[in-house]
Amino acid sequence: MVISGTTRLLGIIGDPVRHSLSPRMQNRALAAAGLDYVYLPFPVAPARLSEAVAGFRAVGIHGFNVTVPHKVAIAPLLDRLSPEAEQIGAVNTVHNEHGRLVGYNTDGVGLVVSLREELGFDPNGAHLLVIGAGGAARAALHALCAAGAGRVIIINRTTDRAKELVERYGLLFPSTRLEFRETLPQALPDIDLLLNTTVVGMDGISLSADPEALADTAVVYDMIYAPSLTPLLGAAQRRSLRCVNGLGMLAAQGERAFTIWTGLAPPRGLMKATLEEA
């Protein structure tokens, strides 16, 4: 890649951001597509977020990704939000559109693409069990409901957050039946997809949900990708259930961001392959 006077700037802001795989995956795709952009990591402390956004405006950044802990806090600093970002209440992609910073959320759509491509799973009419009610769950559920999910049960350590999510999305998506539960039901014969959106399993914390209770045809998705085989996925594999980790979602949200910034589709499969290598 040759950086010149015309190279456009992309990047990611987070705190920390050094472990992010996005710079590697985006630069690889940009180079393969022959595009004159560079994508850099920007560690930004929460107290300096508004300064960072002002700086990005001043230098005319073309676009950037937003990661933990800025996804919610950045929304009021932008000029406009897409309907999805507005409804989810979080932004993971920003595009500079003629000087106006527009916030998008590609996380949920990334999940739905990953479910379709990797598991052949279509959320339309499906019954889902979602573990967690944080930012990741909000983005995921939004896209799943928009894709026509029939029924969703949400379980979260803090039940009030699950309840809040049920109320909020119940109004937005009247054709999806949303419920929250205090504890995991013993038997889950009607569940088509078990989705973990929490960090449980990241460092070997005990299982939050037991695939034993699922039907043989159910699929399991764990948004965690490090470790690549979480205890939840291990248990699903022992049951011979179709299951994947969150790497495909990470790639698909990045592909969607790439398209927002460049107007082009990235080289097919390259982002996922780059993540697998990393």
Residue choice 93, 114, 156, 245 for contact with ligand ATR (CB under 6 A): 156
* CA 95-13-62 angle, 5° bins: 25
Whole-number minimum distance, CB 249 to ligand ATR, in Å? 12
What residues numbered 171-190 form the site for ligand ATR, per CB under 6 A?
none
Q: Which stretch binds ligand ATR (CB under 6 A): 27-35, 150-158, 173-181, 266-274?
A: 150-158
Residue with tokens 């992309």: 10
For residues 134 and 161, the answer to whether their CB atoms sit within 8 Å is: yes
In the list 13, 129, 133, 249, the residue contacting ligand ATR (rule: CB under 6 A) is 133
Contact between 265 and ligand ATR by CB under 6 A: the answer reads no
Applying CB under 6 A, which of residues 89, 134, 227, 267 lies at the interface with ligand ATR? 134
Distances (CA, A) of 152 to 216, 228, 247: 19, 26, 23
Phi, psi of 97 (to 5 degrees): -105, 95
Give the nearest distance from C-beta 157 to ligand ATR in angstroms. Answer: 3
Which residue do the tokens 């573990």 mark?
131
| Residue 90 · residue 77 · CB < 8 Å | no
226 lines the binding site for ligand ATR (CB under 6 A): no
In the three-class reduction of DSSP (H, G, I as helix; E, B as strand; rest coil), residue 129 is classed as strand
For residue 89, give Cα distances in angstroms to 66, 143, 169, 172, 183: 13, 13, 12, 13, 26
Residue 124 vs 158, nearer CB to ligand ATR: 158
The catalytic residue positions are: 71
Tokens at 29, concatenated: 């795709």
Say whether residue 200 binds ligand ATR (CB under 6 A): yes
- Is residue 44 within 8 Å of residue 14, measured between CB atoms? yes
* Selected range binding ligand ATR among 8-16, 152-160, 168-176, 210-218, rule: CB under 6 A: 152-160
Question: Please, which residue, 108 or 266, has the CB nearer to ligand ATR?
Answer: 108
The contact set with ligand ATR (CB under 6 A) reads 132-137, 156-158, 161, 197-200, 205, 208
